[in-house]
């Protein structure tokens, strides 16, 4: 399995935001949805390189979408697709001049939006063939053989431990609740106690040894995976 693509979705229309989020998640994208510009900028600054693409509404209630694009381009070349009801040639040209990679006018088909995303990710090099290996700090996961090495030494994991560790590694710095972890790893096949997740985390931390703090507890929410804090 290749790294799950992380989308920052910025859209103030509740129905459209929910519809896009549901469709993209159904197609195995990770979606961080924001209802306004301030929330989007905070999430962008927080997640940084963990993001792969931004879907940006051109008309927001607090900050103009083009101003958000300016802020993003000050520090990042992450692909950005403008989604806007503003159809004029002038507005589209302005979007491209500010650094947008694509400009899609509303309304649009979700299937077409997905193809635009895939094409843009492929051109930017963010969507590539899976090489069967995922490296995070001292941790190396062979996704083809489902094997784990730590500091160059193999460590044994159960199937569920491996699945949770892979989920974390594919979504570094993204906070996930216990319910999210259950849904993503166990899907609809599990109806037990949320403490099952805590048990798996405890087992993984023990096996990670001195690197156990790769798995960070987020009080009142759940967990996230992070290796940068060791650098």
CATH code of the domain covering residue 57: 3.40.50.2300
Final residue belonging to a domain, choices 124, 144, 164: 124
Q: What 8-state DSSP symbol labels residue 50?
A: G
**Same-domain check for residues 87 and 179:** no
CA dist., res. 75 & res. 43, Å (int): 14
For the segment 77-105, the average pLDDT, to the nearest whole number, is 87
The C-alpha atoms of residue 105 and residue 103 are separated, in whole angstroms, by 7
**Which CATH number belongs to the domain containing residue 223 in this structure?**
1.10.10.10
Q: For 129-168, what is each residue's pLDDT tens digit?
A: 444 678 888 898 887 778 899 998 999 998 889 989 988 9
Q: What proportion of the chain, given as a percentage, has pLDDT over 70?
A: 90
- The pLDDT value given to residue 118: 83
In a domain, 1, yes or no: no
Residue 108 pLDDT exceeds 90: no
The residue among 99, 124, 149 that closes a domain is 124
Give the total residue count for the chain.
Answer: 231
Residue 57 placed within a domain: yes
Tell whether the model's pLDDT for residue 43 goes beyond 50: yes
DSSP string, 54-111: EEEES--SSS-HHHHHHHHHTT----EEEEES---HHHHHHHHHTT-SEEEESS--HH
Mean pLDDT of the chain: 85
Name the one residue in this structure whose structure tokens are 């979408």: 65
Q: Given the structure tokens 């935001």, which residue do they identify? A: 17
162-175: b (≥16 Cβ within 10 Å) or e: bbbbbbbbbbbbbb
**Residue 4: is its pLDDT beyond 80?**
no
Domain closes at, from 79, 100, 124: 124
pLDDT of residue 231: 39
Nearest to 30 by CA among 60, 44, 9, 61: 9
In terms of domains, do 120 and 147 share one?
Answer: no
- 192 pLDDT above the threshold of 60: no
Is 177 in contact with 222 (CB distance < 8 Å)?
yes
Contact of 12 with 68, CB cutoff 8 Å: no
Count: domains in the chain: 2
Residue with tokens 């594919």: 170
Same domain? For 148 and 104 the reply is: no
Domain limits at 78?
6-124
60 and 107 within one domain: yes
| DSSP 8-class letter at 4 | P
Q: Which tens digits make up the pLDDT trace of 33-42?
A: 999 989 999 9
Same domain, 31 and 88: yes
Statement to judge: residues 42 and 118 lie in one domain: yes
Q: Over 80: is that where the pLDDT of 123 sits?
A: no
Give the Cα separation of 39 and 186 in Å (integer): 30
Same domain, 222 and 160: yes
CA–CA dist 178, 220 (Å, integer): 10
Q: Looking at the structure, do residues 116 and 186 belong to the same domain, yes or no?
A: no
Query: In this structure, are 119 and 219 located in the same domain?
Result: no
**Cα(1)–Cα(131) distance, rounded to whole angstroms?**
9
Lowest-pLDDT choice from 44-58, 90-104, 160-174, 190-204? 190-204
Instruction: Kindly state the helix (H) or strand (E) to which residue 180 belongs, with its residue range.
Output: helix 178-186
Residues 113 and 153 in one domain: no
């Amino acid at each position: 399995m290749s790294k799950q693509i992380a989308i920052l979705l910025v859209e103030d229309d509740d129905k459209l935001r929910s519809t896009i989020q549901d469709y993209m998640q159904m197609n195995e994208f990770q979606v961080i949805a924001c209802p306004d510009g301030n929330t989007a900028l905070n999430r962008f600054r927080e997640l940084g390189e963990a993001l792969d693409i931004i879907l940006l509404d051109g008309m927001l209630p607090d900050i103009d979408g083009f101003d958000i694009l300016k802020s993003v381009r000050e520090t990042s070349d992450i692909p950005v697709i403008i989604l806007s009801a503003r159809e004029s040639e002038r507005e589209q040209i302005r979007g491209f001049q500010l650094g947008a990679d694509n400009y899609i006018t509303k309304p649009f088909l979700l299937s077409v939006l997905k193809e635009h995303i895939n094409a843009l990710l492929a051109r930017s090099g963010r969507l590539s063939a899976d090489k069967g290996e995922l490296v995070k700090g001292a941790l190396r996961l062979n996704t083809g053989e489902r094997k784990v090495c730590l500091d160059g030494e193999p460590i044994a994991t159960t199937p569920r431990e491996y699945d949770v560790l892979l989920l974390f590694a594919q979504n570094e710095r993204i906070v996930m609740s216990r319910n999210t972890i259950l849904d993503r790893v166990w899907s609809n096949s599990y109806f037990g106690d949320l403490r099952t997740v805590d048990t798996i985390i405890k087992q993984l931390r023990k096996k990670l040894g001195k690197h156990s703090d790769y798995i960070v507890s987020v009080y009142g929410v759940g967990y996230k995976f992070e290796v940068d804090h060791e650098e």
